[in-house]
Amino acid sequence: MHKWFVYKEFDQAAKAAADFMAGIIEGSLQEKDICHIALPGGNTPKSCLTYLADKKLPWDKVHWYLGDERCFPKGHPERNDVMLEKYLWSKISDTHVYRIPAEKGAEAAATAYRDVVSEFDCFDLVFLGLGEDGHTASLFPDNAALADTRSVIPIYHSPKPPSERVSLSVATLKSALNRVVLVNGNEKAAVIAQIKKNEPLPINCVGDIFWYADEAAVSLAI
Ligand code: 6PG
């Protein structure tokens, strides 16, 4: 079952999501000495990541991964790892970051990243974004990648540029111990209404989600 946490203002939702994810990290590290977390791309997570960076956590025990990456050259301003470096990793110490080598091209990068994620059983947390078409990570509606059961998959014909990407698969996202999605604004209200009606969108295929949203994003949901 999805769990929804709705706040009047987006900033409140971003702060609450950061608090919740900090709690997941602390809880994981009471059980074991390392925590594996996959992070989103896009614009929505930026302020939440900065709130998370302000937390006092044993960052040296957290290993960071990406939910997906765009096939651009290293350092390209539209790469997800460039955004994550700016809003999170540059603000915390002792980072263990495992970037997707998307500069190698979708197939080679997915193959390489499968070896990286095979080093552990499952993610403790995947923090995901949501597109207006119901995509998450780089898992887009009606794309053949949705049926690919490998852990990390190449993405072709993405409707959101660039057309070539790399993504954790539905199976990998589903196997995570926790999934968090942060959404904001009226532009996501239509897809949220579809999600609440259990429509068969990629985001509805990855398992139970802790949703953090502002009121605008849930304004059309019954
Ligand atoms: C990407 C992301 C993608 C993103 C959603 C939402 O590469 O763009 O992985 O899944 O999270 O498209 O993007 P916004 O947060 O910018 O709305």
Residue 222 is predicted with a pLDDT of: 73
Q: Does the global pTM surpass 0.85? A: yes
Which of the residues in the chain have pLDDT under 70?
none
Q: Which atom of ligand 1 is nearest to 167's Cα? A: 9
Backbone angles phi, psi at 12, to 5 degrees: -65, -40
**pLDDT digits over 112-152, tens only?**
999 999 999 999 999 999 999 999 999 999 999 999 999 99
For ligand 1, residues with CB inside 6 Å are 40-44, 68, 70, 80, 129-131, 135-138, 160
Residue 94 is predicted with a pLDDT of: 83
Residue 59 is predicted with a pLDDT of: 97
Residues 6+ apart with CB under 8 A from 68: 40, 41, 80, 100, 137, 138, 155, 165, 166, 167, 168
Give alpha helix (H) positions in the chain.
10-31, 46-53, 80-87, 106-117, 170-175, 189-196
Residue 201 is predicted with a pLDDT of: 98
Residue 221 is predicted with a pLDDT of: 86
CATH class of 3-218: alpha beta
Cα gap 167→134, rounded to integer Å: 15
The sign of the dihedral angle between the CA atoms of 106, 125, 133, 216 is negative
Place of tokens 């900090």: 22
Backbone angles phi, psi at 221, to 5 degrees: -80, 140
- Of all protein residues, the one whose alpha carbon is nearest to atom 11 of ligand 1 is 129
- Nearest to residue 85, comparing CAs of 106, 99, 72, 71? 99
Q: Which of 135, 155, 179 to mutate to test the pocket of ligand 1 (most atoms within 8 A of CB)?
A: 135
DSSP state, 196?
Answer: H
